[in-house]
Structure 1
C-alpha cells in the first residue's frame, strides 16, 4: 500500500531550478512504486466546499507573476481518471462529506510543480482537490481519512503546501548560504515532535500551542499549512509519520516532505 505525503511546493522557481530539494523530489519519484493515480490537495485551490476534479485533460495554470518567461512555457498535460473520481464521490457520500465536481479547472502551480518533479512524464492520472481553510483541522483530517481505501488500490495521496510559508517574512535576496530564521526552525521542530507522536490533539490546536505559529502559519496564509491534515487523515489507520526531507530557502520558506503510513 502506498503512503500518503505532505510535500512543500516552495516558490515557483523550483520548477526550473536544480538544487538539493529538486534533486530529492526527483529521487523520491524514482524510488516510489508507480501509482495507479494521484489525488492531490493543493493550497492554491481554495473552496468552501470540497471540490473533486473530473477532468479528461488538464490545462496548466500559471497562477503567479513576475517570474522568468521559461516558467510560463512549462506544460504538464496530465489526464484525469473518471473511475477514481467516481470512487471518491462514493466514499465522500458514505461519510456524509459534502462535495462538488469540477469539470474545467486545470492544475495550479501547487499541483503541477510537485507532480512534474516527481513524475516528469505526466503519464499518471491526477484527481485535483481543493482545500478549505475555514473549516477546523479535524474536518480536514476527516476528508483525508475518507480516502484511505484508495491507498489500498495503489492511489497516491498528496497534500501540497508548506509548513512555514509566510510571504511577508521571506527574504528573496537571501538564499541557501544565509542563516535560517530561528522562529521557523522552532516551529518545524515542534511540528516534527507532534507528527512523530501523532498528537492530533495538539496539532489541531497548532495556532495556539506551536511556538511562532502566527509567523510560520499567518492567519492570512494558513491554506499552505492545512494540506498536511488531509494527508495525515489518509493514514489514520497506521498513524506513522516520517520526515524525509527538510531544508529552507529565502531565510524561512520551508521545503518539507512528510511521509504518512
Structure 2
C-alpha cells in the first residue's frame, strides 16, 4: 500500500535553494515506489467547498508570490490531470457526506509545484490538486483525509503540503538555528503523531507549547491532518526528515502508512 506524506514547502524559493532538505526531496523518489498518480492538498489552494482539480489536459503554473528571483517566474510544472480519478475522489467524498466540486480551471500553486518539481521533476505523474478549508474543525479535516484512504490501495500517493511551524512574521533571515519555541512545538507534535493522539492533535493550539506561535494561521497545518487522516487504517506515523530555516520555518516530512 502506498504511504501518504506531509511535506513542508517553506518559502516559494525552496525549489531553487540548496540545503539538506532540498537534497532530501531530490533523492526521495529513489527510495520509494513511483505512484500511479498524486493527490495533493496545498495550503495555498483555499476554498469553502472541497475543490478537486479536474483540468482537461495540463495544469497551468500559478506564480502566487512576488519579490522573488526572476528564475522562479520562468519555471513550469506541466503535470497532467486525470479526469477519471477526479470523479472517483468526488464519489469517495460523496459517500462520506463531504460536499465537493470539480475545478476545471485552476492551475498548480507554489505549494504544489515547488515541492513536486523537486520530488518528480519530469512531471510525468498525473496530479489531482485538492483545496483546504480553514473554517472546518480539525476533526473534519482528518475525516476528509480518511475518506481518501482507499486510493492508497491503488498506488496513489496522497500528499499534504504546508508547514508545521510557519510563522512568517517572526522570521530571522540570517538565523543558523531554529527558535527554541519552534523546536519545542515540533517535539510535542512528534510525540502526538507517533502515538496517534487525535484528541491532543485536534486541540493543538490550546495544548501544544507555543501552539499559536508555531501556527499563527491554520492553513499550513491543515495539510498535515489531511495526510494523517488518510493513514487512519494503520495509524503509523514516521518522521522522515526535520530541519529549519530562518528560525521559524520548519522543513520536515512525515510518512503515514
Structure 1 length-normalised TM: 0.97
Secondary structure at the counterpart of residue 156 of structure 1: strand
Output the CA distance in 2 between the equivalents of 1:239 and 1:24: 24
- Give the one of 235, 242, 248 matched to 1:246: 242
Secondary structure at the counterpart of residue 128 of structure 1: strand
- Give the one of 165, 182, 185 matched to 2:183: 185
Q: Pairwise mapping of residues 134-149 of structure 1 onto structure 2 (< 5 A)?
A: 134-149=135-150
Give the deviation of 1:179 after TM superposition: 2.5
The equivalent of 2:36 in structure 1 is 36
Secondary structure at the counterpart of residue 238 of structure 1: coil
State the Cα deviation string for residues 98-143 of structure 1 (Å, max 9, x = none).
Answer: 0011000000000001111100000000000000111001101111
- Give the one of 224, 229, 233 matched to 2:229: 233
Output the CA distance in 1 between the equivalents of 2:177 and 2:36: 41
Q: Report if aligned partners of 1:165, 1:216 keep a CA contact under 8 Å in 2.
A: yes
The equivalent of 1:58 in structure 2 is 59
CA RMSD of aligned residues (A): 0.7
Q: Report if aligned partners of 2:177, 2:245 keep a CA contact under 8 Å in 1.
A: no
Q: Report if aligned partners of 1:196, 1:242 keep a CA contact under 8 Å in 2.
A: yes
Give the deviation of 1:30 after TM superposition: 2.0
Q: Pairwise mapping of residues 40-189 of structure 1 onto structure 2 (< 5 A)?
A: 40-55=40-55, 56-172=57-173, 174-175=174-175, 178-189=176-187
Output the CA distance in 2 between the equivalents of 1:215 and 1:180: 13
Q: How many residues align?
A: 256
The equivalent of 1:11 in structure 2 is 11
State the Cα deviation string for residues 12-54 of structure 1 (Å, max 9, x = none).
Answer: 1111112111100111122111101000000001111100010
The equivalent of 1:196 in structure 2 is 194
Output the CA distance in 2 between the equivalents of 1:133 and 1:5: 20
* Residue segments in structure 2 that go unaligned for 5+ positions in a row: none
Secondary structure at the counterpart of residue 244 of structure 2: strand
Output the CA distance in 1 between the equivalents of 2:119 and 2:212: 31
Give the 4+ runs in structure 1 shifted more than 4 A.
none
The equivalent of 1:215 in structure 2 is 213
Structure 2 length-normalised TM: 0.98
Output the CA distance in 1 between the equivalents of 2:25 and 2:214: 23
Q: Report if aligned partners of 2:96, 2:147 keep a CA contact under 8 Å in 1.
A: yes
